[in-house]
Amino acid sequence: MLTEHDLARQADPLRPLPARLVASEALASDHRLFQFRFVDQELNRDWSHRPGQFVMLSVLGTGEAPISISSSPTRGGVIELCVRKAGRVTGALYRLKENAIVGLRGPYGNGFPIDQMKGHDVVIIAGGLGMAPLRSLLWHMLDNREDFGHLALLYGTRAPEDMLFKQEVTGLVERTDIDTYLTVDKVPEGQEWSHDVGVVTKLFPHVKSRIDPDNAYAAVCGPPVMYKFVLRELLDMGFGKDRILMSLERRMKCGIGKCSHCGVGYKYTCIHGPIFTYWDAMNLPEMV
Amino acid sequence: MEKLEIKLGNVRILPKENFPRFVAGLGSFGEVFAPLRRPDGVRSFSRVGKGDGDVGAIDLRHPRTMLPPKKFLFPPEMEMYRFSADGGFTDPPPNGEDGPKVLLGVHPCDINGLLILDEVFRRYYVDPHYFAKRERLVIIGANCEPDDKCFCKSMRSEYVDKGFDLFLTDIGDAYFLRMGTSLGSDIVVADPDAFRPVERADVRVYKEAENRRAQALKSQVELDSLPQILELEYDSEVWEEAGGRCLSCSTCSSVCPTCYCYDVFDHLNLDGASGSRVRRWD
C-alpha cells in the first residue's frame, strides 16, 4: 500500500528518486554507458519510457543534467544512459563507483511517434554520439520487428574507436532484417576496418533503392554540421519534411515545461521535443 | 470573457467604518498582507500588524505596488528539497513562512497575472511547490484608481470574475463586496454583522463607480497582430538595440507579474554529503 509519503513523491514531478548505479562500461574514449536501477523495486518494475525520451540525472551536490535514454523500453528493468564527461554533473557521475546512489526523474519529452511510424520503413541516421538517443528506437523496432517495414541504420563517426555500442552495431551488419552500414571519417594507420570510409551521407546509395520515401520515416541525430548534408539527401530522396524526425538538445533545467531554459520560439524542447520533425524545426528560429 | 452577473446572494455591503474590524477578522484566515503606504510613497504588499497604524496605512486604491503578488507564490528564491548521500530528496523543514496568507487589495490586473501564473504552473505537469502556496493564499481583490499608464482595457484585464475569494469595490462610504468562492463566503459568515445586504441604490452607485473607472482607463495598446509581428520581425535590429541597453539587472523579471523563468542550484553542505536544492528567478 502506498504511504502518504509515496503519494506525495508521485505527485511531485520535480523530486528526483534514488537510483543505484549497477554497472558502467567505457563505450568510446570519452563516453561511458551507465546502468541504473531505482532503489524502489516497485518503481523499477513499473517505470517505462518511449524511445527518444530523456531523464533528469542528479549527482549529489552538483545539480541536474538532462540525459537521453539509450536503453529500449522493450528491455526494461534497467535504465541505460550514455554519458559524455562534459560538466559538473557528468564529471561527478564519472567519479561514482558501482552501487552509488544518484537521483533520477522522468521520463520527459515527447519521444519518437512510434504509433505513426508503425507499418512504415524507417531509416536511422546517426553521427557520433547521436547514436545515444537513437539506440532506444533501434532496439524498440528490432524487438517489435513485425510492426515496421524495411529498416536501415546508417552510422558514422570520426574513427572506429569513437563508435558507440561498436560491438552491438557491428553485430547488426550480419542481420538480414535490418540494413546496417557503418562509416568512419578516417581509419588510423594500423587499425582494421572492414566497413565504409567517409562521411555518413556516403552511405545513402546503399539503401536508396530499398527504402520507399513515400512510406518511410527518417530518424536523425548527430552533430549540427551533419544535419545540413543529411537533410539535403533525405529531401532529395523524396522524404516529406514531416517524416524526418530529429532529436535535438537544449539545456533543460526543469524538464516539465516551466523554467523556460529550453524554450525555442514558442516551443519547449522538454515538452514539444526533444524529437522534432524537420518541418517543426524549419519554423523555429535557431533550432538547427 | 464571462459576462458580469451579480447574484444578490453573493454580494454584501461593507461600510467603511467596519473596515478595521473586517481586517482584524481576516487574521483568523491567515497572516494578512496588504499594500501599505510607505514614507517614500511606494506601495508594497507588506504584513499588516495588529496596531491601528498599519490598518490606516492600507491603500486599496494605490496605482501599482512596486512588486507584483507573484512573490507570495513563486518566491525569488526557494528551497525545494534537502538531499543526502543516500539519494533521497526530502521536503525542507517548515520555516514558519508556509502558513496561510491573506492578500488584501489585489487589483484586477494582478489577479489576472496570478491566473496566468496558475496556468503556467498547472499545464503539462502540475508544479506542487507553487500550488502548495497557492492553496494557502486567500485573495481579496480591490478596485484600482487607474492612472495614465494603465493599459488594462487593451488586455481585457480591468475586470475579474474569478481568481478572488472576495472583491471590494469602493462606492464612497462603503465597499461593494463580491464573494468569489465559498472561502470568501466563510469570511463573511464569520462576522455577519460587519456587513449589510445590498440595496438597489448600492447597485446604482456600484455601476457608476465602474463606469467612471472604465472611462479613466484611457491608455490603449494595439495588440491584435503582436504575436505575428514578433515572429516576422525576429531578425529586426530593434532587438540588438534593446539587448545592448540591457544590464542584466533582472529588474524586469522582478516587476513582471507573470515572468516565471527560473534556474536551479544545488548547495552542498560542508559535510560534503548533504545539501539543498533551490530555485531562483532567472
Q: Which residues contact B266 (CB under 8 A, 6 or more apart)?
A: A58, A61, A62, A63, A64, B83, B275, B276, B277
Q: Above 90 in pLDDT, residue A93?
A: yes
Computed from CA positions of residues A165, A170, A176, A179, in that sequence, does the dihedral angle turn out positive or negative?
Answer: positive
A197 residue type, one letter = V
Question: Which one of 3.40.50.720, 3.40.50.80, 3.10.20.30, 3.40.50.300 gives the CATH number of domain A114-287?
Answer: 3.40.50.80
The reply to whether residue A18 touches residue B88, judged by beta carbons under 8 angstroms, is yes
- Give the count of beta carbons closer than 10 Å to the beta carbon of residue B153: 17
Number of domains composing chain B: 1
Domain that holds residue B234: 11-281
* DSSP one-letter code for B2: P
Considering only the beta carbons, identify the residue of B86, B129, B272 that sits closest to A101.
Answer: B86
Q: For chain A, state the CA radius of gyration.
A: 19
Residue pLDDT, tens place only, A115-133: 999 999 999 999 999 999 9
Confidence category of residue A2, pLDDT binned at 50, 70, 90: very low
Residue B133 domain-assigned (yes or no): yes
Q: Does A259 touch chain B (CB under 8 A)?
A: yes
Q: Does A103 touch chain B (CB under 8 A)?
A: yes
Contacts of B282 in chain A (CB under 8 A): 259-261
The reply to whether residue A101 touches residue B121, judged by beta carbons under 8 angstroms, is no
Residue pLDDT, tens place only, B89-125: 999 998 888 899 999 999 999 999 999 999 999 999 9
* B101-106 vs B137-142, strand pairing mode: parallel
* Residue whose cell numbers read 570519452: A30
Computed from CA positions of residues B76, B82, B83, B84, in that sequence, does the dihedral angle turn out positive or negative?
Answer: positive
Which grid cell is B62? 494605490
Q: Above 60 in pLDDT, residue B3?
A: no
Exposure string (b/e) for B169-187, b if CB count within 10 Å is 16 or more?
bbbeebbbbbbbeeebbeb
Q: How far apart (Å, rounded) are the C-alpha atoms in residues A259 and A252?
A: 8
For the beta sheet containing A151-157, the strands, ordered from the edge strand earlier in sequence to the opposite edge, are A196-197, A179-184, A151-157, A121-127, A216-221, A244-247, A275-277
Do the beta carbons of residue A136 and residue A162 sit within 8 Å?
Answer: no
Q: Is B9 helix (H, G, I), strand (E, B) or coil?
A: helix
Residue B2 domain-assigned (yes or no): no
Considering only the beta carbons, identify the residue of A13, A17, A261 that sits closest to B125.
Answer: A13
Q: Do A4-108 and A114-287 agree at the fold level?
A: no
Residue in chain A closest to B86 (alpha carbons) equals A101
Q: Does A282 touch chain B (CB under 8 A)?
A: no
Q: Above 90 in pLDDT, residue B66?
A: no
How many angstroms away from the CA of B262 is the closest CA of chain A? 5
Which grid cell is B76? 525569488
CATH T-level assignment (fold) for domain A4-108: Elongation Factor Tu (Ef-tu); domain 3 (2.40.30)
Residue pLDDT, tens place only, A260-276: 888 887 889 999 999 99
In this prediction, residues A57-80 reach a mean pLDDT of 94
In this prediction, residues B218-246 reach a mean pLDDT of 89
In this prediction, residues A14-19 reach a mean pLDDT of 95
Computed from CA positions of residues A143, A148, A149, A153, in that sequence, does the dihedral angle turn out positive or negative?
Answer: negative
pTM of the entire predicted model: 0.90
**Angle of helix B19-26 relative to helix B182-190, nearest 10 degrees?**
120
Mutate to test the interface with A, among B271, B277, B278 (most CBs of A within 10 A): B277
Q: Above 70 in pLDDT, residue B32?
A: yes
